[in-house]
Structure 1
Amino acid sequence: MRSRTRSTRLRVPFAATAVGLFALSLGSATATFWPVYGGAAFVVLVLVAFVVGAGIALGAAVLRLSSVWVLVATLVAYLAVGVPLAVPSQALAGVLPTGGGLLTLVSATALGWKRLVTIALPVGSYEALLVPVLVLVLVGTVVGLSVALRSRRGELAVVVPVVVWIAAIVLGPAEAWWPRVTGLGLLVTVVAWVVWWRLRRRRVALDALTGRVPGTSAGHRPVVVRAVVGTLVTLAVAGAAGTVVVSVAPPATSRTVARTVVEQPFDPRDRVSPLTGFRAYEQEPAVDGTLLRVTGLRDGQRLRIATLDTYDGVVYSVGSGDVDSASGFFTRVPSTVDQSAVEGERSTVGVTVEAYDELWVPTVGQLESVAFDGPTADARRDEFFYNDVTGSAVVLGGLQQGDSYRLEAVVPRQPGEDDLGALTPGTATVPTPRDVPDELASSLEDDVAGLREPGERLQAALAALREDGYVSHGVSADEPVSRSGHGADRIAQLFTDPVMIGDAEQYATAGALMADQLGFPARVVMGFAPQTDEGQTGEGQTGEGDTVDVTGSSITAWIEVDTAQYGWVALDPNPAERPIPEDQVQDPTQISRPESVVQPPPQDAQVRDDQTPPQSEQDDPETPPAWLATLLLIARIAGWSALVAGLLAAPFVTVVVLKARRRRRRRSASSPSARISGGWHEFQDAVVDHGIRTPPAATRSEVAAVVGGSRPAVLARVADRAVFSPNAPVEADADRVWTAVAEMRRALGVGLTRRQRFAAAVSLRSLRGYHGRTRPERQRNN
């Protein structure tokens, strides 16, 4: 019988309303994770985790279980549903946990958070990356509903959705528009939750006082109206404060989240530029040795090793420390990468590693998925990082002989030869090259003389390279001298020697610098261009079983320029290999001159007045003065601090304003009698707000007796005489009463701590009309 009595304490209407409102609030917060995960697996996880968590919280509330049993039940449920929901790839028949799945679930509980911020989004159900949101939803539901159903302060349950919303922002992408939408929904549901709890607490108190059966009391329209108005005033104050702050100090950069500040496992700036090792592929044993065996390559299709976009006068490298270059940001990728926005042809390529032992992974097009095979497959997949901006990929430990992988990619559509002249610069951002040789700029000016269209000028500059240049790697005795490197002095030599001699390392660098001078965002691509003419099938693609051997002699480099029509377009500036005319070499001192020492690039880019003005702006933004940046930072910090302070203080300011308005209305009443009566009510409200218990429906004398002292008793008699005496009081009596009330209100705070005085100032007891029904916090005797 005792257990049955306990099981009926939780009323169904109350529990249903609480669960419904909490579900709306938590759902609004959890929706912020959609850009992180996306897909049906995320939706199923959230729904099931909430249902399980709500079941645990409701059962614990009905049975009055202790927190220890609630914890045990939550852990059991987490282990039971965690694998099929968050690690579906390791669930038996999709619904039963396995031993390996449980180990993955437990390890991901501690480590999944960091892995989530080092991988490209969205992740879907890849590996165990759903574990963080499972922990937040399941534990948050249990904690939040337990507080709502079993705590005296059920309003505190809204902390859970707020925490989930903040976690979604921290773990999410840098784009801020979606959290604004979900944040608005969360604000509405949180306000509804708090208002419902406040009204419910008042209704319960009134039912207890009047003896009504709970659930049968009449509505209290004035209270509802006052609650709604107060809520609207609070939102208006907070919204106005936020609008002012954003208008005065708008954010100048993208939002900072965990993935933008966490140290990435791979930073290409810590590695030597792969272009510096270009000549090594042209030497023995790599030049004739098989580095890779590739299947699925189309005729003329190239394998990308690395994309380099930063030139400092010494080397072309990946990424920049001075400019926020997206090419330097490599992340782990989920099982698939969404390339639906890329217009092109799908390509499937299989690669088997032979003598190639670099960390750069040869790829084609824009990667959709990668699958490693063999005994090292799991290790290689965990060490695989990709940059979707450049299409480059790496394996941290480096590829080794015997590794194999299969790529699925989209090869972007490229313009035809006849369309190149109509190209115009795109809007991509690349670091501005530094220490560009004057000799290159002078040669470029001659090459494009008389041409106006950007595409035609670019065509003419690259055509001049191909026509004037000759290819020599300079690695064998029978080849003309060709110094390696692509620093500023080597590129200057390329344009000053009697015969232009170099290889793809120099021509690709020169082509990219020329394109940049003409206004096209440009970058250098290093890769392989294997011959696939043999063994072709059908439409110019090797069959599934046909294999292309990639040797070191297939190494090359080309450029990519960003265009408004096609995006990044691949262009080859390299001359065709042909005999070098020795009779044109007339200045032997030019050939035998010693190599000059390349000085470090200057801190500031040289300003040359003789350069051809670019057609589009791609220079780095000017750095504001230090004092201005400091002032902006201080203003931004002060603005956001004011916003947070305004949001926190808005409810308290609203209460103080309402009390001041009430006091002013009482003091400015039309008659002295009403002003004296209002003075007494003001004192009585102050008594209630200070937590002094007074009897229900007490007279003025009884209230004065509870407060204690002579002055409250005198004030009570004066108020009684003003109300009941046939002789109307005079204005001077009303003024003296309000002077006394002000002094007595101050006397109520004597001996109290600052916190107690603040609590009395923002107390809602007098606004609710709870005279005589306050908690027995303390008694006063003055």
Structure 2
Amino acid sequence: MSRFTRTARTSAEPGRADGPAADTTAATTARPALRRFPRTGWTDVAVLSLLSLLGVLGLETSFGDYNFLVAGLGGLLVGTGAAVLGYMLRLGVVTNVLAAILLYFLLGTPFTMPGEALIGVLPSIASTAGLALGAVFGWADIVTLGTPVEAPYYMPVLPYFAAWLVALVGTMLASRWLPGRRRTAWRTGILLIGPVLLYLTGILMGTDKTYFAGLRGVAFAVVAIVWVGWRRTSVQGADAAGRSRLLRRKLLGTATVMLGAILIGALVGGVLAPNPKDRFVLREEIQPPFDPLEFSSPLSGFRQYTKTLADTPLFTVTGLQPDEVVRLASMDAYDGKLWNVAAAESVANGSGSFRLVGRTIPEPPLVTSAQNSTVTVDVVGYEDVWLPGVGYPSTVDFDDADSQAESENLRYNADSGTSVLTNGVHPGYEYTMSAMLQQTYRDEDLADVPVADVTLPSVQNIPDVVVAKAIEYSGGTDTPIDSLRAIEQALKTKGFLSHGLASDGIPSRAGHGADRLNELFTRTQMVGDEEQYAAAMALMARSLNYPARVVMGFAPEVPEDATSVEVTGTDVTAWVEVAFDGIGWVAFYPTPEQTDVPQDQTPKPKTVPQPQVRQPPRMDNEADDLLTAVEIDDTKNESKDKDFVLPGWAWAIIGVVGIPLLVLGVPLLIVAALKARRRRRRRTLGTGDRRAAGAWSELTDGFAELGFDVPRDSTRRQVALSLDAQLAAQLAGQPEPKKPRSRVAGTETAPGPDTGAPESVELAPPIEVVDTAAFVAAHRLVPVADAVDSAVFGGTDVDDEVVENTWIQAEESLATAKTSAGRLRRLFSRFRLRSKRDWNQVNVRGSRAAARGRG
């Protein structure tokens, strides 16, 4: 025991509030640097971990293998360890949570994404991003992806994050909240909320198959019920016989509960267990958004219909009228390779945005309809996600036995009039569709009509020859309809039709990328089919700022008296639609009907023999002498062309060092700024007595942030004695301090060695510290507390010199505490912002009581 502690126990006068009893209490409050975890808390943590593990096991049906179990165990270890470490280091709740988040990112990689780790265990940029993405988006991904869930790579983060969160919250409640309260069934049951939610997560996010549901359920119920019963507060004051009877009853009750749970779970649970098909799981209720870009563009398969499926019956349409076409898909985005629907995120409500609809389909925003059409489609050989139909559908009724399920898979885009079945259209489907047909207009009716102001995705990589031909073909026209008709007629009259079949007179290459369209206009003759001509005209119209799109469908020949028509691959076609204001989408058909490409009939010139003339000898070196070799330095241009690429080791350093520093540094800067503002306001604002009191507030806040216990309901002098005792006990195990110097000359008031009465202590000379007791005695807090009390209750004005001396004494004592606290506690104290609101009123009451005692 240090000399300071012995003096504190014997020096105060009997009967004073800060006499021997107070000094003894202060000495006994001294504590080690690490706080012992509650003994009963270990049992609670073990039970919570076991129940959480039973909940995590329910995710086996989603993942298929046991990599999720490693992640779940890792989350339990990291979350529990962070909460236990925070309690033992006396961290506040907010600081403990921040430290747990830091450990979540630092330690999560080997448990969840070992393949992305650096040196097997260190986090990388990819794994750090995955730990964040999995915690946010993993919940939606697991119920929308097919099982087993193997992608994206961050999916194991979901069990890791869930187990980490439950373990962190449960352990903090078991160590910080529950020990200070009477153990009742409902208080203990609060700790079960996290494991129960984790257990339900395994059920709802799994599949209709179960993973030992009965065994896990019985084990969970038995462990939870027995734990709640045994953790209730025991009867106080019972004798040995009473405790023995209580123990026997507890054992008998535990055996009864376990037997009842097993019987109910095995017998009643087996009878009442739902059929696997009737199980409620979220993946069966939540339909993922349809992304058409996961499927190939309809126009890219155009030649498959004309070659492979030319004579194959695709579907039969009943009720189709002559000159009526079957629509398949509308495409308004071009990237230089394909016409396709737009990405859902590129244009709001664009051609790639498909919405779940019921039997009644919403009306399109831009259409003028003069009549309706109702057709019945019987699918024979067609297989794709795009649903064949006519016009703009208003209702769709599936005629098979599972019509309800098919209706739930129907998605529709009102702007383009395109329908899809997310599970695909297959042979045997039969449905009836009622639709509005776009009214047809004469060119005279559209002469003064401008194009509509609609938002379409931008087209990219248009060949220059396409733009030039658009200007050439539409030259001299004044209105949009005239320009578009001129382009349509030019393509139909100047081009030739060829599907690239063996029977065609000239080969025609498939595709409608930029290279194919460039070839279409640069060859001697334009040769292609609907795929190339529709793609070319749509790009021409878009280059002239007309809203155009490509539509693919089928145009079968319908006899006048026919009630139904069979559609084959040869009926496939494509055309262009342009939106006119107040009218709708007007169709253009630029594909020529001519199939016979004329042969080149230009006669070759006849060769006429010329008389031989003797030529002069050739001078080989003559031309070479006229040329001078010039070397061109391309190094500068090459360096300009090369983009700067950050090396891999730099990315590794950013991931391993930069992200943890960001997580650690931003809160640290915020807390440091708040502390600096608090210190500045206390030191500069208000009268002298308030600024002197601010020094004491800053001192006690600093000690509290370092983990010291600041007593409540005590005077400043009592608080000072308690903190002095804690500091002495802490310094007892530290190396001897080396020659600290006082930073101000003057005097301070300190209790005498025998009576506790104030006496004058000289501060000017430097203090040579020879042992811990002398060092603590020179930096005791009691003189600071007495000086602040004198300033607050003295009844006189306090000058700036006294205030400054008080602040310097407080800062020196706080610096001593920081030196003895160790690096780890100093680090965590920087993240803590202790407010004086919880003990300020106590100090005020204590100060008033001390003033009355002095009076």
**Could you tell me the TM-score, scaled by structure 2's length?**
0.45
Structure with more contact order per residue of length (Cα contacts < 8 Å, sep ≥ 6): 2
Return the index of the structure with the highest Cα Rg.
2
